[in-house]
Amino acid sequence: MSSATGTVTVQQPLNYRAGARVQPADGGQLEEVFEPATGRVLCKVPCSGEKEVDLAVQSAKAAFKIWSQMSGMERCRVMLEAARIIREQRDEIATMETINNGKSIFEARVDIDVSWQCLEYYAGLAGSLAGEHIQLPGGSFGYTRREPLGVCVGIGAWNYPFQIACWKSGPALACGNAMVFKPSPFTPISVVRLAEIFTEAGVPKGLFNVVQGGAATGQFLCQHPDVAKISFTGSVPTGMKIMEMAAKGIKPVTLELGGKSPLIIFSDADLENAVKGALMANFLTQGEVCCNGTRVFVERKILDTFTKEVVKRTQKIKIGDPLLEDTRMGALINRPHLNRVQGFIKQAKEQGAEVLCGGDLYVPDDPKLKNGYYMRPCVLGNCKDDMTCVKEEIFGPVMAILPFDTEEEVVERANATKFGLAGGVFTRDIQKAHRVVAALKAGMCFINNYNVSPVELPFGGYKCSGFGRENGRAAIEYYSQLKTVCVEMGDVESVF
């Protein structure tokens, strides 16, 4: 694949089954895949039908028999090798991600680093997965075994295509499972590279398969009788459908869904860090980040100073060709999504919010970028809690600033949402910081920073933002099951 913006075409098949790229056995409708930076079509991908989904699941089932019998240490070695290859190919994979997603190359490299770190982390855990030994009366005893689930399905969103696949396959494979992964039809490219890397590293052929397609393909996967678990990253409405399908087969699910997270800035915060934190909380990946702190509550005493500084720095964000080293904001994922984000800004204005900066379309000077999906990052002032822009997930570069007066008031307002993915607080008062995060109804809270993602820390939501956890030791619980064995050392005392 050539690597300059506007020059790429993707020709190889993007399904991956039994250790090789394949055309789907029953590929139906063709999905056009766009390069967000230019609006060009990168390729057309056939959506996998029921037959291809079944072949992928059967391929995973066969590999599961081998992989699940290997020791944790053997699995560890293979996963470490996969992590090493990703590290070695970091720039190439990051370039693919940027071309398909539109995010800056600077950020894509960070995503790839987080990806190999995730595989390394779970490789490290694989060798120490163990149960317990429990003594019982008369010398009898019991023990528990941590066993894999079987074939797990991963369904991903388009904002972190490679990273999401690693966050799911890392713990799944470490626990001895196989996986069939379906990326978003908007970003089908980089995950196939991950599949190749796993094979190169030495996983049994078929252990990690990729099927391409949209909702229909996803449904075939979720409904397949040989699938043991579904791990989904995406929107709340799709999450509900996934849960309904999983319920029919009593399949466990992990749901990583949307958010509308609060970021609370107290007047005693280090202003420089708070401003940087607010930008990190809103403008990574063009604002298309599930855990973004898009409701920025600012203590009234510092509202003007904080807002002025945030606006000044937001206006300086370098937008443009995402493959250029100094670009910090690339293109949104596609035209309909850009229009949707613009619609939210229009509605915000109608409802009385003030656009303090940005929000308009951005047309780069470079002629090859003129059909790309760019907009200027936006800061909204004069926001009220009941405005649509404050209640709904926009999933674009739009920050809403809301003043507050007391701790009690801001905690109540921060929690007044159906979502509960993340939250953040900036203050120098350590007791206040811990008190506030303890009161926030959110799964991932940050104190004096935002949107950092160490793989050692569990990540996941409360309320409508989902359940189950990715990353950290916690994810092991969601990719394994516990078998209890009760061992009698004496004679059977029968009641009959």
Q: Is 289 in the site for ligand 2ZO (CB under 6 A)?
A: yes
- Give me the residue label for tokens 């388009």: 158
CB of 470 to ligand 2ZO, least distance (A): 9
Nearer to ligand 2ZO, 227 or 284 (CB): 284
455 lies in the binding site for ligand 2ZO (CB under 6 A): no
The two beta strands, 444-447 and 422-426, are parallel
Smallest gap from Cβ 456 to ligand NAD, in A, equals 17
Instruction: Compose the 156-195 pattern: x for residues touching ligand 2ZO by CB under 6 A, - for all others.
Output: ---xx-----------------------------------
List the single partner that 453 binds among ligand 2ZO, ligand NAD, none, CB under 5 to 8 Å by kind.
ligand 2ZO
Half-sphere exposure of 487 (CA within 13 A, CB side): 11
User: Which tokens go with 309?
Assistant: 């500084």
Cβ nearer to ligand 2ZO, comparing 209 with 314: 314
| DSSP letter string, 98-109 | HHHH---HHHHH
**3-state class percentages of the chain: helix first, strand second, coil last, to nearest 5:** 40, 20, 40
Residue 227's contacts (CB-CB under 8 Å, 6 or more residues apart) are 57, 150, 151, 152, 153, 180, 221, 249, 251
Examine residue 104 and tell whether it contacts ligand 2ZO (CB under 6 A): no
Any catalytic annotation for residue 256? yes
Of the candidate spans 60-68, 287-295, 362-370, 382-390, the one that interacts with ligand 2ZO by CB under 6 A turns out to be 287-295
Enclosing H/E stretch for 209? strand 208-210
Shortest distance (Å) from residue 221 CB to ligand NAD:
7
Smallest separation, CB 245 to ligand 2ZO (Å): 23
Q: Closer to ligand NAD by CB, 111 or 321: give it.
A: 111
- Taking the least distance from each CB to ligand NAD, the nearer of 155 and 436 is 155
13 binds, among ligand 2ZO, ligand NAD, none (CB under 5 to 8 A by kind): none
CA dihedral 296, 297, 301, 302 (to 10 degrees): -20
Strand-strand pairing, 40-46 and 30-35: antiparallel
Note whether 291 binds ligand 2ZO by CB under 6 A.
Answer: yes
Can you list the positions of beta strands (E) in 82-195?
A: 133-135, 141-148, 151-155, 178-182
Nearer residue to ligand NAD within complex by CB, 164 or 311: 164
Strand-by-strand arrangement of the 253-256 sheet: 20-22, 15-17, 208-210, 178-182, 151-155, 227-233, 253-256, 466-467
CB 407, min distance to ligand 2ZO, A: 26
Catalytic residue (choose from 256, 299, 407, 470): 256
Contact 160, 471 (CB under 8 A): no
451 binds, among ligand 2ZO, ligand NAD, none (CB under 5 to 8 A by kind): ligand 2ZO
Distance CA 24, CA 21 (A): 9
Q: Minimum distance from CB of 425 to ligand 2ZO (Å)?
A: 17
| Beta partners for residue 297, in sequence order | 264, 402
CA–CA distance, 38 with 356 (Å, rounded to integer): 28
Cβ-based nearer residue to ligand 2ZO, 395 or 426: 395
H-helix or E-strand spanning residue 299: strand 295-299
**Hey, is 378 helix, strand or coil?**
strand
The answer to whether residues 415 and 459 touch, using CB atoms and an 8 Å cutoff, is no
Question: Which one of 117, 417, 453, 471 is in contact with ligand 2ZO (CB under 6 A)?
Answer: 453
Q: Return the residue of 451, 465, 471, 480 that touches ligand 2ZO, per CB under 6 A.
A: 451
CB of 462 vs ligand 2ZO, minimal distance in Å: 15
Least distance to ligand 2ZO, CB of residue 392, Å? 16
d(CA 233, CA 258): 9
Stretch that binds ligand 2ZO, among 45-53, 89-97, 266-274, 286-294 (CB under 6 A): 286-294
- Closest to ligand NAD by CB, 205 vs 241, is 241
Pick from 423, 419, 412, 360: nearest CA to 393: 419
**Site for ligand 2ZO (CB under 6 A): which residue of 119, 230, 279, 284?**
284
How far is residue 389's CA from residue 467's CA, in Å, rounded to a whole number?
25
Residue 222, contacted partner among ligand NAD, ligand 2ZO, none, CB below 5-8 A by kind: ligand NAD
CB 421 within 8 A of CB 291: yes
Least Cα distance to 316 among 230, 376, 232 occurs for: 376
Question: Which residues, including other chains, have CB under 8 Å from residue 137's CB and lie 6 or more apart?
Answer: none
Contact set with ligand NAD (CB under 6 A) = 155-159, 182, 184-185, 214-215, 218-219, 222, 233-235, 238, 241-242, 256-259, 290, 393, 395, 421, 461
Find residue 181's DSSP bridge partners: 154, 210
Task: Out of 290, 338, 379, 387, name the contact with ligand 2ZO by CB under 6 A.
Answer: 290
CB 461 to ligand NAD: min, Å: 6
Structure tokens that stand for 456 in this block: 């050692």
13-21, 263-271, 289-297, 322-330 -> range binding ligand 2ZO (CB under 6 A): 289-297
219 binds, among ligand NAD, ligand 2ZO, none (CB under 5 to 8 A by kind): ligand NAD
Residue 489 — left, alpha, or beta (φ > 0 → left; ψ -120 to 50 → alpha)?
alpha
The yes or no reply on residue 108 touching ligand 2ZO (CB under 6 A) is no
Just list the catalytic residues. 256
Residues that bind ligand 2ZO (CB under 6 A): 159-160, 284, 289-291, 451, 453
